[in-house]
Structure 1
């Protein structure tokens, strides 16, 4: 008799999937107990599912007194994927002056729909990569709903086209563009491992078994649909400049980020009034386990300040 296999510990830590709605877009989210801390929303990066967030990082934040929720942005994970468009890839979409399907404002409103579904009047934001840029825009468009902002490995949220490209390492971007896609479970696991390896922190071990386990347990890990990624990255921001952000802001950036140059983080911090820039030596375009406690401590300091 075949024995049942329990889901990974990191997967069992989160609540069952719940749903929020922004118009016709359904947004999948879950939360990490306990529920008696200060609300903190994790904003996910380009194309990937919410499961890419390290549960250990979330637990380190919870230990600092936060209640966490994470969600799949539109066109990612279990959330609504929009109909196919003409965009051929993220690089082309980045350089275009118009989005194919929706705006960056629509993406900020998705986050607010999740806060509403959670019953949170306001929350701390923690966004990484594209999620960091989206978090900046949320703080601009919905300032009364945001307690603090933590932007990680992100470009300025009001940049577009060539202004964004100046902060991107083109060699890595080209590697990402050449990365294969697959329609099989085994294939998307291999592509996901290759993506994680490309972006990982060079000064820290690469935990391939953990990455494989996460990918195998994720409904849509976000490594198969270049057109969805194109719609996300091509969504145009028409709002104010990030210099008008009023939320207390922390900017974290790995000094060895292979995709987004540290100049991006320094620029974000320089342009947001009162923002604090914290460089992360040896860290790439991820947040490896050795920095989880320090990151959580910095977010706690920001909230207390």
Structure 2
């Protein structure tokens, strides 16, 4: 029986005074960096999806964004909540440009000069910004359930389902390990895919394994979501781009995917029928195959 761990021990990259936790799967292939969503750790990427990506020829790495997981958490700021951080003007803890540079610091630590990027939710917006700011480091770009990377403040509002946002705002859980678990289960249930059964028992077991407080760390989420982008528009992206979005996403409207696709030259949109703000197991192989198709259709000339 093969008992080789799926992931390497935690490794560290550095961007200035920010320390970034990352790991990678064993095996070789085309380098693919996963950029995770708001507040949560890199371990929220399903292992089954990562195995599917590896089976399609990718070397998979993932990292914790600043203010999440094992990476550096910044001091408290007067940001209120993630919702108010979207819309109020105030001094920001850091910029969206600095968050994109974090991804490049991880690529440097991995020794990946260029790499493919896959970002989900906030991670999709960050990945778009990396492709704008550091085009030479990105071979292809895939965004999932994301808003346009250059949207901010009130411009973001048009893409968000306010009813779901209100439900998120009403969620209150104690700052304890048990509270972390209950918050994670509640979040997973809220964002689940309507066309696929929600297995609460399996979800709870997985979230107990994750032990991630980021799902209800409002201070860290506020700093992440409040980081403003001051760079060029996403229409400046020149790398091959794939846009994936669940047709039943309860948080981000598919309009966001349509706008990203329309504004990035040559981008291709693939809707995921019945999928919510997550990637359920039945679509893992499809997602991996679509990303492999993107890379093979746009192989650089030899």
Shorter-chain TM band: over 0.9
Does the C-alpha gap of structure 1 residues 276 and 99 become closer, same or farther in structure 2, counting only changes over 3 Å?
farther
| Matches of 2:181 and 2:21, distance apart in 1 | 21
Q: Could you list the runs of 4 or more consecutive aligned residues of structure 1 that deviate by over 6 angstroms after TM superposition?
A: none
Find the counterpart in structure 1 of residue 268 from structure 2. 276
Find the counterpart in structure 2 of residue 169 from structure 1. 161
Residue 162 (structure 1) shift:
1.3
Of 175, 179, 187 in structure 2, the residue corresponding to residue 187 of structure 1 is: 179
Does the C-alpha gap of structure 1 residues 108 and 99 become closer, same or farther in structure 2, counting only changes over 3 Å?
farther
Find the counterpart in structure 1 of residue 248 from structure 2. 256
Find the counterpart in structure 1 of residue 300 from structure 2. none
Find the counterpart in structure 1 of residue 35 from structure 2. 43
Q: Would you say how many aligned residue pairs link Structure 1 and Structure 2?
A: 295
Residue 182 (structure 1) shift:
2.2
Of 20, 25, 42 in structure 2, the residue corresponding to residue 27 of structure 1 is: 20
Of 6, 27, 31 in structure 2, the residue corresponding to residue 13 of structure 1 is: 6
- Which whole-Å deviations, capped at 9, do the CAs of 1:29-84 have from their partners, x for residues lacking one? 111121x2000000000001111101101110110100000000000011110000
Find the counterpart in structure 2 of residue 216 from structure 1. 208
| Matches of 1:120 and 1:219, distance apart in 2 | 29
1:285 to 2:277 alignment: yes
Does the C-alpha gap of structure 1 residues 281 and 31 become closer, same or farther in structure 2, counting only changes over 3 Å?
same
* TM-score normalised over the length of structure 1: 0.94
User: Please, which runs of 5 or more residues in structure 2 have no aligned partner?
Assistant: 298-302
| Matches of 1:19 and 1:191, distance apart in 2 | 28
Instruction: Specify the SS of the correspondent of 2:216.
Output: coil
Does the C-alpha gap of structure 1 residues 219 and 95 become closer, same or farther in structure 2, counting only changes over 3 Å?
same
1:113 to 2:105 alignment: yes
- Which whole-Å deviations, capped at 9, do the CAs of 1:209-264 have from their partners, x for residues lacking one? 33223322235341231010000000000000000001100000000000000000
The aligned runs of 1:193-212 (5 Å cut-off) are: 193-212=185-204
Does the C-alpha gap of structure 1 residues 51 and 210 become closer, same or farther in structure 2, counting only changes over 3 Å?
farther
Q: Residue 127 of structure 2 contacts residue 141 of structure 2 at CA under 8 Å; is this kept in 1?
A: yes
User: RMSD of aligned C-alpha atoms?
Assistant: 1.4
Find the counterpart in structure 2 of residue 238 from structure 1. 230
Does the C-alpha gap of structure 1 residues 99 and 270 become closer, same or farther in structure 2, counting only changes over 3 Å?
farther
Residue 185 (structure 1) shift:
1.1
